[in-house]
């Protein structure tokens, strides 16, 4: 099974989801993530995932066009912008959507920004655990 996670810049939300989906699915699924743009992997996303013992420091920020000829079983958009800009995949991929807040847009102190990242991480973690239970482990 192959799953693609799409976001605007492939820097925060899709990277966090990529990490959790891979963690929960293990070898039962190949997880890829991309953005309609590429902004680089946000160091804060790496840091909050490390707090939860998941290493995404090796992830890269990829453009969705890089995957245009790959067949996916599921495509998950994690922000409204990606959903609207999501290319049409010539495949049978089932599309899923959940709009998570963008922690990179939070302003304030570093503590406030990191807390926003942790809050979004918690939402994405719960979503990914449920997604894997519903769509991956049922096979």
Catalytic position from the list 85, 86, 93, 114: 86
Strand order from edge to edge, sheet including 2-7: 30-35, 2-7, 74-77, 94-97
CA–CA distance, 61 with 36 (Å, rounded to integer): 10
Annotated catalytic residue 7: yes
Catalytic position from the list 3, 4, 5, 7: 7
Q: Which of 5, 3, 1 is nearest to 98 (CA)?
A: 5
Catalytic position from the list 75, 79, 104, 120: 79
Please give the distance of CA 84 from its chain centroid, rounded to a whole number: 16
Q: Which of 90, 118, 112, 104 is nearest to 35 (CA)?
A: 104
What positions carry a catalytic annotation?
7, 79, 86
């Amino acid at each position: 099974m192959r799953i693609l996670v799409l976001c605007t810049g492939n820097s925060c939300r899709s990277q966090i989801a990529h990490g959790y989906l891979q963690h929960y699915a293990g070898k039962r699924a190949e997880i890829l993530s991309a953005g309609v743009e590429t902004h680089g992997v946000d160091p804060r996303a790496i840091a909050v995932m490390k707090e939860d013992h998941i290493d995404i420091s090796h992830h890269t920020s990829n453009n969705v066009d890089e995957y245009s000829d790959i067949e996916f079983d599921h495509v998950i958009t994690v922000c409204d912008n990606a959903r609207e800009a999501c290319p049409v995949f010539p495949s049978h991929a089932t599309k899923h959507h959940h709009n998570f807040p963008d922690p990179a847009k939070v302003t304030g102190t570093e503590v406030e920004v990191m807390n926003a990242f942790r809050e979004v991480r918690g939402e994405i973690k719960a979503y990914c655990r449920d997604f894997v239970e519903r769509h991956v482990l049922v096979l």
